[in-house]
Chains A and B, each alone.
Chain A
Amino acid sequence: MSKFLSSNLSRRTVLRGLGVSLALPWLEATSGLARASAVVADAPTRMAFIFVPNGVHLSQWTPNTEGYGFKLPFILEPLASVQDDILVVSGLTHDKGRANGDGPGDHARSASVFLTGAQPRKTDGENIRSGISVDQAAAKLIGHKTRFSSLELGTDPGRNAGGCDSGYSCAYSSNISWSSESTPVGKEVNPRLVFERLFAGGTTQDVDRGQQQRIGLQKSVLDYIAEDAKQLQKKLGRNDNRKIEEYLAGVREVERRVGLGVASRPLDVDGDYPVPDGIPKDYREHIRLMCDMMVLAFQTDSTRVSTMMFANAGDNKNYRAIGVPDGHHDLSHHREDPVKLEKISKINRFHVEQLSYLLGKMKSIREGERTLLDNSMICYGSAISDGNRHNNENLPIILAGSGGGTISTGRHVRYSTETPMCNLFMSMLDRMGAEVPFIGDSTGRLPKLSI
C-alpha cells in the first residue's frame, strides 16, 4: 500500500514525458473508434458553476436586444468566438441573498446563496447553516457514476484571520458548494494538487501485482476508521455527532472510489496540457490552469459536476495587470462615478475573458459529432447584480453549452423579474438526469431554454 491516494511524482514525470494519456471510461464498452457513433449517444452531460464576486456593471453586460443575433456588450465581447454557444440570461433573482431581516452581510450571502438558494443563518461560528447546493444535489444522485462525485475549485483560499462579512462566518464567503446544510465543501486552489488528485494512481499504468493487495488493505483501513467513528458517535452529543456524520460521509466517498478500482482502457487524447507545478503568481494564469483542470476532469469523465470561484465573495484584490490598481470590492461601491465604472467593467471583462478561455477549450474537444462544450452546461455569474446597490434581482448570468443539444444557445433571454435563479437549477438538474423535488426557493422549471 505504498501509493495509497498519495501524490505520485513519478507518475507526473511519466505524464510529462509521454503527453497526457488518459482514460475515457464511457468508451469502455466499445472497442475502439470504429464505433464512434455509439459514443455520441453515450457521452454524458456535465455541469459547472462559476462564481464571480461583487456584481457587475450591468449596462455594459446586458445586450440591448433579446433573442438571436444580439450585439455583444463591452464586458461580453471576449465571448465573440463562442457567441453561438451561450445563452445570456437576464431577470433571475436570488431572493434569499437579500437581508430578509438579517441585516448587513450581502457579500457573505451572495456566495452562500449562489448555488443553494437558501437563506444562510447569520452566525459567526455556532451552528452554521445554509442549504444543499445544486451541484451537490446532482453529485448525490449521479456522482456514483464517476470517480469523483464532484470537483470544487477556486483561486483564493479562505481568509485566515479576522472576520469576513458583518457577523457571517468566513465559511459563507469562501464556499459555494454545500453538501449538507451544515457542511460547506472546501475548494482546491492549487492546480498541481487537483491534477495529482485526479490522476495519481488512477490509471492502468499503476496496476501492478500488488494492486489487489493494496486495495484490500485500503478497504480494511476504511472499515476500521468507520467503525471507530460509529462507536464514538454513540457517546457524543448532538453537535459533535454532526461532526462524525461529516467524517463518515468522507469515508464513504473514499470507499466508493476504492471500490471502483482503477479506470480501465486508457485512450490517448490531445496532450496539450501542461502538468501544473503549483499556484502561478499570475492570477490570469492561475484561473486558466484551474479551468484546464476542470476540462481534464470532464474530458476523462472523472467527474460530471464542478464548481469554481474566480474569487471569494467581497474580494478586494487589485487588477494591476489590466491597469486597475484599486481593490475590486472598494471599486464596486462606485457611486455611479464613471471612472470607477470603467474600471469595474474592465475587471468584469477580464473575468469573462477567462470564461471564454474555458469555453474555447471545451469547444475544441470533440466527442463524436459534438464537442465537450455541447455536452455541458456552464453557469457563470454573480449573486449580486450591481456592486453599489447590492441588489439580488436581475442577476448577471450566462449559461454556456447546450446540455447535449437540449438548450437553444446563441440568444439573450429575459425572464420576468423575481423569477428564482433556482428554477434554472431545476432545469439543469433535469438535463443531468438528477431530478429533485425542489432546490432552494425554486418554484418550477425555467421555460424558453429551448425553442
Chain B
Amino acid sequence: MIVRISDDALARALGADALAHAFTQKGHTVERTSSWGMHWLEPLVEVGGNAFGPATLGDVEAILDGSSDKAIGEPAKHPFIARQQRLTFARAGKTRPTSLEDYQATGGWAGLRRARQMGGAAIVEEVTQSGLRGRGGAGFPAGIKWKTVANTPGDQKYVVCNADEGDSGTFADRMLMEGDPFALIEGMAIAGEAVGASQGYIYVRSEYPDAIRKLEAALNLCATVIAPFRCEVRIGAGAYVCGEETSLLNSLEGKRGEVRAKPPLPAIEGLFGKPTVVNNVLTLAAVPHILAEGGAAQYGALGIERSKGTMPIQLAGNIRHGGLFETAFGVTLEQLVHDIGGGTDSGRPVKAVQVGGPLGAYLHPDQFDIAFDYEAYTAADALIGHGGITVFDDTADMGHMARFAMQFCAAESCGKCTPCRIGAVRGVELIDRIRAGGRSADAVEAQPVMHNAPKSGRLPEQEIALLTDLCETMKFGSLCALGGFTPYPVMSALTHWPEDFMPGGEGAVQKVLDRNEV
C-alpha cells in the first residue's frame, strides 16, 4: 500500500520521520509529500485516499486496518481545505516537493514557457494587470517594481528572493520552499525573463535548515530547465533585520546587515549597485500561476478593492485549528479566528490577535469585523504584513507584550538610525516605569542646581505621554520598518488594554490617552 506522509519541517518536528519508518518496516511504500497545512492534524497520514491525524506510532496498526478513530476522511474535502482558494499553495499536500515529475504533471513550467514566448514587456504587463502586490509586507505592486528594473539600463541585473521570514506567527514562506520549491524557482526565472536578469539569489534564514536543503536539491534538478537563468541559495546568519530588503542586499554582498537609505531604490541600484528585483517568496511563487494561460485575469478577479488575488494567511499562536489558509482578500478576522481557526487552543476566550508579525498591531475582539485588505488595515492603524495571525487568550499580559516588542526591536536593531537603536531601549525602560507606577526624582534631578528638572518625579501618565511621543518619533524618524512599525504593537496594546499597563489603575491610562489626543 502507498502511505503518504508530509516531510514538512513541522510534520517532522512532530515525529513524521519515525512514522514513515514504521510504515516502511511493515512493508509499505511511503511517499513523502508536502503538507496540507492543517497543522493541528500533523503528522497526517494518508492511506488509500483517507487521512488520519495527528498520528502517533501507536496508531500505525489501526490506521492500516482502517479502525483508527483519528480518521478525517479525504483531506481535500476537509472543511478547512474546501473553504480555501488555493493558487500559490495549489500543490500543498498533493505532490512530492523535489519531484520534477510531480511538478510537471501539475502544470509546472507552463508559466515560464509562455513567458519566454511573450517577451519582457508583455510579462510585466500581465503581472501589473493581475494586481499582484508584494507579499512581504509593504504591498508594493510587483508589476511596477519589475517595470522599473526592466527600464533601468544595466549589463548585469539580479532577481533576489527575500526568504528571510523572521516574523513570529508566519510560516508560509517556509512551507512554500519546503513543499513546492520549483514554483518559487519558476517565479524567479520568469522575473529574470521579464527584467533581463540572468542571476538569482534566494536569501534564506539559517533557522530554516529543511527549506535550505530542499531548495538546493530542487535547484540542482532544474538547472537545465531554467537555464540560461542561474540561481543560488544564500544563508542568513540570524539577523531579523535582514528581512528588510536593503539590509538583505548588504548581507548578500557580505557586509553588516545595515539598512540603506532610500533612494536610490534597489530597483535602480540594488545588489552590487545593479538594478535588482527584490520580492518575497510568496510574491514570486504566485507568478507562475499568473503567467499561465488566463492566470492574470483569474488572479485579478479575486479579492477586494486594491487588494487583488489570494493571500496565504497563517493561523498561529494559541489557536485550535492552526495552519495555512489561502483565500481571496476580504475575509474578516472573526471568520479567521472563530469559524476557521476554532477559537483558542486553550479553550479560553480570545483576548488579542496580532496580525503581521512582531511589528503588527494587536487587534481587540471589538475590531474583528475588519476585512483582510491592505488599505482597511492601514486605516485601522494596523498592517497585514506577511499575513501571520497570532492569537492570544485572556491570560496574555499585553503590557508585557508591548515591552517585548520594544525589547525585540532593541535586540534586532541594525543600529544605523537613532530612533530605532536608542528609542527601543528607552521604550523598554519607559514601559517598565509605567508598570512600576512611575518613579521618584533621581539623585541628579533632586540637586538644587537642576532648576528645570521636576522635583516630584514622574507620574505614570507623564511616562505614558513620553512613550506616546517616543513612538511618534520612531514611527516617522526610523529608516526602515523595524523601528518604524514597532510602535504599532506598543500603541495598540496601550490603547486597547491600558489596564495591563497599570494594574489597579484602570481608566487612568485612557484619560491620559484622551488628553494626548486633544
A binds B: no
Q: Give chain A's interface residues, CB within 8 Å of chain B.
A: none
B interface with A by C-beta (< 8 Å): none
